[in-house]
Amino acid sequence: MTDRIALITGGAQGIGRACAEALAEDGCRIVLADVKDSVTDTAKDFGGTGHICDFGDATAITALFDKIEAGIGPVSVLVNNAGIAMPGDFLEYPLDDFRRVLDVNLIGTFVATQRAAKTMVAQGIKGAIVNMSSINAQVAIPAIPAYCASKGGVMQVTKAAALALAPHGIRVNAVGPGSIDTEMMAGVNANPEAFKRAMSRTPLGRAGTAREIGDIVAFLASDKASYVTGETIYVDGGRLALNYTV
């Protein structure tokens, strides 16, 4: 993937950073975007550029693509990784929180996918888009209803986009992580009982690493996955296959 421009959203840390690392090793030119100021320094680790962007703001997303295209060139690999959870009690879950999660996780993914695809189609780029879904597209946790809804939506947007863009040679896939050792799992890691419970439903008996997600993303973005589109690959240590816990 030498010199392909890869934009990774939510790239300041965790899975986003791991995706950048894997894609950089495969030769991509890295562009990171995140709501956090640290994205600029993270991008420098890969010889790339970092941009601050709120992926709950559709106008900011389109402006980001305009800036990247004007300053660097067209994006040929897009990794839609930006996401938030905002847990809360189901019966008291604020509607504003629900909308905010959908804005970032689902609508932001759609807007970025659509905007990237427009340039790919216009310039004849046979690009690759990888969206970050979750096992919570298939199973649910009551304390994160908006997150579950958004990731199920990402799975379906991935399929719809794959069908729409296939005639242009643009592939769209998703990755569905299980329990991954990132900042989002820090609370579970710090609680021995919660960690034990999480591992009881994970047949491999451990949390995954961010780099294990990054490697799958890099595979889907590469020509090694040239006949793969519309799929969600679940990287969950066997969790979705599990029939019972002991």
Catalytic-role residue among 147, 227, 234, 244: 147
Choosing among 3.30.1490.390, 1.10.10.60, 3.40.50.720, 2.60.40.10, the CATH entry for 5-237 is 3.40.50.720
What is the model's pLDDT at position 182?
A: 83
Per-residue model confidence (pLDDT) at position 190? 78
pTM: 0.95
Has 244 been annotated as catalytic? no
Task: Flag residues of the chain having pLDDT under 50.
Answer: none
CB contact at 8 A, 177 and 136? no
DSSP per residue, 156-218: HHHHHHHHHHGGGT-EEEEEEE-SBSSGGGHHHHT-HHHHHHHHHT-TT-S-B-HHHHHHHHH
Q: Domain extents for the chain?
A: 5-237
The C-alpha atoms of residue 178 and residue 137 are separated, in whole angstroms, by 11
Q: What is the CA radius of gyration of the chain?
A: 17
pLDDT at 246: 65
Query: How far does the chain reach from its first CA to its final CA, in angstroms?
Result: 44
